[in-house]
A and B are shown apart, each in its own frame.
Chain A
Amino acid sequence: EADIYQTPRYLVIGTGKKITLECSQTMGHDKMYWYQQDPGMELHLIHYSYGVNSTEKGDLSSESTVSRIRTEHFPLTLESARPSHTSQYLCASSQDPGTGHGYTFGSGTRLTVV
């Protein structure tokens, strides 16, 4: 079944560790996105990609980096995690414009940095 997967669902790590949050989709979507979600609900776009080897920073400045080597895979990396990185991270993908389909979201990764 076509879907979008995020791993891990939950992660608790110590300050200074390097981590990679995984996001994969099986729908063949060119466009993928990473959002950081506050405890207060608001979504902040931190990275997006419109295709292989294309990545852009989003509206919210983030110390994380992303890569897009394969269409289906859009990992997010924090080189040195800090408590301020504690948040929910949501990955999404979308088809081309011109259709009614919006974004398809993964289930999210809840990151806690201690």
Chain B
Amino acid sequence: GEDVEQSLFLSVREGDSSVINCTYTDSSSTYLYWYKQEPGAGLQLLTYIFSNMDMKQDQRLTVLLNKKDKHLSLRIADTQTGDSAIYFCAERAAGNKLTFGGGTRVLVKP
């Protein structure tokens, strides 16, 4: 079955780069996503990558996809205190349902 794994916690200093990692098991994944959840809010789509790409950049965000190792990462350049949140990766495989990872809590220290 589908399984998506993330580390639980990441602490980073303001201005440094953050890298959040994610692994998945379903090789038929078509799209992979990164969502951000701020306290008391729903999930907000940050970016996504199609499975035939290996990199996508969007302003401070860079997504890297290693399809062979089934590894996805999100790099946030020049991390700000407003980037403190929970980040979820998700994969879309057969059908339309997304499978979410358990979330990584990112804490940005001034």
Chain A: residues with CB nearer than 8 A to chain B? Answer: 6, 31, 33, 41-43, 45, 48, 50, 90, 92, 94, 96-97, 100-108, 110
For chain B, give the interface size range: 20 to 34
Q: Which of B11-19, B21-29, B37-45, B66-74 contacts A (4 or more CB under 8 A)?
A: B37-45
State whether A102 touches B35 (Cβ < 8 A): yes
8 cross-chain CB contacts under 8 A: A41-B102, A41-B103, A43-B88, A94-B98, A97-B96, A101-B45, A105-B43, A107-B41
A-B complex: 7 closest residue pairs judged by Cβ atoms: A105-B42, A41-B103, A105-B43, A102-B33, A42-B102, A97-B96, A107-B42
CB distance from B92 to the nearest CB of A (A): 7
Supplied contacts A97-B95, A100-B50, A105-B44, 7 more A-B pairs, CB within 8 Å: A31-B96, A42-B102, A97-B30, A102-B92, A103-B43, A103-B45, A104-B45
CB distance from B7 to the nearest CB of A (A): 12
CA distance A97 to B98 in the complex (A): 11
Residue of chain A at shortest CB distance from B86: A41
Complex interface bits, B89-109 against A, C-beta within 8 A gives 1, otherwise 0: 010100111101011010000
Residue of chain A at shortest CB distance from B1: A59
CA distance A42 to B90 in the complex (A): 12
Complex interface bits, B36-76 against A, C-beta within 8 A gives 1, otherwise 0: 00001111110010100000000000000000000000000
Given A97-B92, A106-B42, A107-B41, A43–B97 Cβ distance below 8 Å? no
